[in-house]
Structure 1
Amino acid sequence: MTNINISRKLRIAIAGLGFGKKIHLEALKESDYLIPTTIYHYKKEKGPSLEKETGLNFYHDWGKLVKSKDIDGIIIATSPESRFKLAKEALENNKHLLLEKPVALTSEEIEELQRISLINNLSVCVDFEYRAVPLFLQTKKIIDENILGKIYLIKLDWLMGSRSDPKRAWNWYSLREKGGGVIGALGTHAFDMLNWFFGESIKVSGKISTSINERSLSNSSKILEVTSEDICIANLEITNYDSALIPCQVSLSSISKNGRGFSLEVYGSEGSLFLSSENQKDYVHGFNLKFSNKEDKTYNLPADPLYNFEKTWSDGRIAPVKRIHNLWAESINNQTPVIPGLSEGLTSQRVCEAIRRSSESGISIKI
C-alpha cells in the first residue's frame, strides 16, 4: 500500500519515444499522484506530431526543459549513452528523476549522480520493475521466510530471441560504447533481482561474446560492425544476509531463437523454487511459480492477493511500471529515500563491469 501525502499531482516530463511513450506515458495517465505534462525529443521537427498525438507540451531544448518551473520530475528513457548527461543537468536544476537502466555507462557516472542528488535532496528512482511484479514479490517473500532452508545453488537463464534475426537492422544497441548489448538490456535486471532476492555478489567470473558480428543499416546495403555482446555466461558468488556463500550461474542471450525465456531455479535444503516464463514480450502474463518440497511434491504457487495489481493491461509491462511510479511519488512527497534507486543501480552496474573485466582478463574479479 502506497502511503503518500498529496496536495497536488506532480508534473512529469518524459524523455524517450520508445519505452517512455509506450509504457511510462500510459502508466502516468492512470496515476493518482503524477500527471504527464511534457514530452522531449532533440529533433525540433517532431514537435507538432508529438503534441497532437500525446496532448503534451513539447520541448526539444533540454536546457530549457530542466529549468522549467512547471515540471517537478523527469522520466529519462532515452538510449543509455545520453542518460548520464541528461540526468546530471536535470539534477543540477533540482528535478527529481526516474531513470531507465542501465542508469549510465559507468559506475563512476552513477556515483556522480548520487552525489548531486544527495546534495540537492532529490529523489532518483530506477525502473527495476521486476521488483513490482506479483510473482517476483511472492518469490522474495518465500526466500525471506526461509522456506527453502539453506540455499545451495541458484541458476538464472534468460534466453531471448529479440536479436536472433541477422537481418535485424543495426542501431545503437549494436555498439558496446553506446550501452548496447545483452548485459545492459537483461543483465542489469538480472543482477538487481539476484541482489534483492539473495544478497550481494562479491566475486564473479564471466565470458561475453558476439554471435552476429555485422548488421546492415536500416533501408541500406551498408554493413556495420557489431561491438556489443549478445551472449553472457557468468558465475557469481553471492553472500546472503547470514554471510553464507551461495554459488550462482547466470546465462543471458538475446540471439536464442525460440529460447526458453526467463527461468530462475533455486535449490535449498528444504525445497526448490522455480520461477519462469516463456513469454518474451511481457513482464506479467505468462509467469508461473512452482515449489518442490523435501518429499519431491511440486506445487503451483499463486501470488499473495496483497501483491496483485488493481488493474492490468493487455501490455502487462504497464502495471509494474505504474507501481514503480507510485514508489517514486511517495519518495518525493514524503521526502524519504526510494528503493529501487541509484544505490541499487550502482550495485547492478558494478556486477556488469566486473563480468566484462573477467571476460577480458580470463580471471575472477572481486567486487
Structure 2
Amino acid sequence: MRLGIIGSGFGVQGHLAAALRMPSLDFVAVADSGSGRARKKLPELVQYVESWEQLPGLNLDLISVATPPVEQRSIVLALMQRSVNVLCEKPFGSGFDDARSMEQAAAFANKLGVVAFQYRYEKGLQELRDSYQNGKIGGVRSISCSWLTNGRRDPSSLWSWRNDKDQGGGVIGAFLSHIVDLLQWITGQNVSSVEFANTEILYPNRPLFDGTLVPVTAEDRVETRLILGAGIPADCEVSNCHTHSIGMQLIIRGEKGNLVYTHSPPFCPEDQFVHFQPKDGEEQTLFDGANDGRPPGDTRIASLQELYGDIRTRTVGGEAPDLPTFKTGLVVRAVLAAIAEAAVQERNVSV
C-alpha cells in the first residue's frame, strides 16, 4: 500500500513514525499545508513535496491528513475528487457540517474514509471492551472517564492553533473526541444526549515567539455527562492543564463489580493496566501492558500501526470490523456538537 502524509506535527511524529515501522507499507512522501515546516522534521531519505496537491499524482493508495481541523475539509474533499482513500485525523473537521461534507464525499467517490481513532487499537482498551462485552461485570450502572495531563499547564507555553476555537483547537476536539469514540465502541451504544457540559479557559492569553500575548479562545478543560442509548450515564473530565499529569482512567461500574482501565505517563506499554474489582473478593489484574509484547515507547505509534494494518486489509477487500470510518467520525462529531451546545445553553441537549 503506497502512502502519503500531509502534516508537519503529529503527521511526522505519529503517522510517519508508524509507517516507517511497517514493511507492508510503501511510504512515498510527506507534504504539509504550505508552511514548509515538515521538511525540517523529516529523517534522511524521506521525500518531501512542496504542496499536498502534488501527492495524488504519485499514484498513492492512501493519504493521511494530519492538519489542523479547520484545514481538513477542503483537503479531504479535494482528495476524494481525485479518487484517493483518506485517513483523516480527529476531530474530523472543525464541526459537524465539515464532517458531513467529508462523509458524503467519500460515499459519492466510493472511496475508503477513515478517522484516526487509534485508541481502539490499544491492547488494554481492547481487553476492557472484551471483558465488558463478555459480561464480566453484568449490567452496567455508570461509567466515568478522566484524561488529565499537564502538557499545557505552563502559562508561558506558546500560543498555537490548538488555542484557537475557530481553527478547531481545544480539548473537546483533541481529547474528548477519542473518549466519545471509545465509549460508543466499547459499549456498542451511541450517546443519545448530553445532560450537561462545562468548559473552562484556564489561561486567557498565551505568548507568541516575540512575547506578544494572544487571546485563548479554545477550552483547556471540559467536564460533561453523556447519556448512552440504554440510559447509562458517563461522566467525563478532560484537561491538558491539570496540576499533575495523571493520564487516562476509565471505570465501568456494573452489578458484579467494576472494570478499571488506567494508562499513566509516559504512556508506554508498561504503564497500561486493566483491573477487575469484584463485589466480593480481591482485585484481579486482567491486563498488564508490561506483558503486551509491543515495542517500547509511546503506545500510540503501535496503535497507529494496527490501524494502518486494518486499512490495508480493507483496501484489498478484507474485513476490518473495528475500523473507524467517516461514518464513525460523523457520529462522534454529532456528540461533540451537542456538548458544545450544552456548554453554551447550560441545558440538556439531545444528539
Instruction: Indicate the TM-score class for this superposition, using the shorter chain for normalisation.
Output: over 0.9
**Structure 2 CA distance for partners of 1:337 and 1:110, relative to 1, 3 Å:** farther
**Structure 2 CA distance for partners of 1:94 and 1:335, relative to 1, 3 Å:** farther
Provide the rounded CA distance (Å) in 1 between the counterparts of 2:35 and 2:133.
Answer: 50
Q: Once the 2 structures are TM-superposed, how far is the Cα of residue 49 of structure 1 from its aligned partner?
A: 5.2
- Does structure 1 conserve the Cα–Cα contact (< 8 Å) formed by 2:269 and 2:292? no
**Percent identity at matched positions?**
22
Q: Secondary structure at the match of 1:317?
A: helix
Match for residue 4 of structure 1?
Answer: none
Give the alignment's TM-score, normalised by structure 2: 0.93
Provide the rounded CA distance (Å) in 1 between the counterparts of 2:78 and 2:233.
Answer: 40
- Residues 256-271 of structure 1: matches in 2 within 5 Å? 256-271=242-257
Q: Once the 2 structures are TM-superposed, how far is the Cα of residue 248 of structure 1 from its aligned partner?
A: 1.3
Gaps of 5+ in 1: 1-9
Instruction: Check if 1:297 corresponds to 2:288.
Output: no
Provide the rounded CA distance (Å) in 2 between the counterparts of 1:45 and 1:77.
Answer: 14
Q: What is the aligned length?
A: 348
Match for residue 245 of structure 1?
Answer: 231
Match for residue 20 of structure 2?
Answer: 29
- Residues 214-229 of structure 1: matches in 2 within 5 Å? 214-218=205-209, 220-229=210-219
2:337 partner letter: E
- Does structure 1 conserve the Cα–Cα contact (< 8 Å) formed by 2:15 and 2:304? yes
Give the alignment's TM-score, normalised by structure 1: 0.89
Match for residue 166 of structure 1?
Answer: 155
Match for residue 180 of structure 1?
Answer: 169
- Does structure 1 conserve the Cα–Cα contact (< 8 Å) formed by 2:269 and 2:297? no
Provide the rounded CA distance (Å) in 2 between the counterparts of 1:120 and 1:337.
Answer: 20
Q: Once the 2 structures are TM-superposed, how far is the Cα of residue 57 of structure 1 from its aligned partner?
A: 2.9
Match for residue 336 of structure 2?
Answer: 352
Q: Once the 2 structures are TM-superposed, how far is the Cα of residue 70 of structure 1 from its aligned partner?
A: 2.4
Provide the rounded CA distance (Å) in 1 between the counterparts of 2:38 and 2:253.
Answer: 53
1:147 partner letter: K
Instruction: Check if 1:59 corresponds to 2:31.
Output: no
1:13 to 4, 26, 32: 4
1:302 partner letter: F
Match for residue 332 of structure 1?
Answer: 315
- Does structure 1 conserve the Cα–Cα contact (< 8 Å) formed by 2:6 and 2:66? yes
- Does structure 1 conserve the Cα–Cα contact (< 8 Å) formed by 2:65 and 2:86? yes
Between 1:91-100 and 1:114-123, the stretch displaced more is: 114-123
Q: Secondary structure at the match of 1:355?
A: helix
Please list the CA deviations of residues 171-197 of structure 1 after superposition, one character each: whole Å capped at 9, or x if unmatched. 101101111111011101010001111
- Does structure 2 conserve the Cα–Cα contact (< 8 Å) formed by 1:214 and 1:226? yes
Q: Secondary structure at the match of 1:234?
A: strand
2:340 partner letter: R
Q: Secondary structure at the match of 2:343?
A: helix
Q: Once the 2 structures are TM-superposed, how far is the Cα of residue 296 of structure 1 from its aligned partner?
A: 4.0
Provide the rounded CA distance (Å) in 2 between the counterparts of 1:20 and 1:47.
Answer: 9
Q: Once the 2 structures are TM-superposed, how far is the Cα of residue 118 of structure 1 from its aligned partner?
A: 1.5
2:262 partner letter: S
Please list the CA deviations of residues 46-86 of structure 1 after superposition, one character each: whole Å capped at 9, or x if unmatched. 687567x34233222233323x0422210111122211111
Instruction: Check if 1:152 corresponds to 2:141.
Output: yes
Q: Secondary structure at the match of 1:314?
A: coil
Q: Secondary structure at the match of 2:72?
A: helix
Instruction: Check if 1:234 corresponds to 2:227.
Output: no
Provide the rounded CA distance (Å) in 1 between the counterparts of 2:308 and 2:270.
Answer: 20
Provide the rounded CA distance (Å) in 2 between the counterparts of 1:330 and 1:95.
Answer: 16
Provide the rounded CA distance (Å) in 1 between the counterparts of 2:22 and 2:38.
Answer: 25
Q: Secondary structure at the match of 1:166?
A: coil
Provide the rounded CA distance (Å) in 1 between the counterparts of 2:255 and 2:36.
Answer: 61
Q: Secondary structure at the match of 1:57?
A: coil
Match for residue 190 of structure 1?
Answer: 179
- Does structure 2 conserve the Cα–Cα contact (< 8 Å) formed by 1:133 and 1:284? no
Provide the rounded CA distance (Å) in 2 between the counterparts of 1:87 and 1:54.
Answer: 28
- Does structure 1 conserve the Cα–Cα contact (< 8 Å) formed by 2:143 and 2:252? yes
Match for residue 135 of structure 1?
Answer: 124
Gaps of 5+ in 2: none
Q: Once the 2 structures are TM-superposed, how far is the Cα of residue 157 of structure 1 from its aligned partner?
A: 1.1
Match for residue 82 of structure 1?
Answer: 71
- Does structure 2 conserve the Cα–Cα contact (< 8 Å) formed by 1:15 and 1:40? yes
Between 1:258-267 and 1:135-144, the stretch displaced more is: 258-267
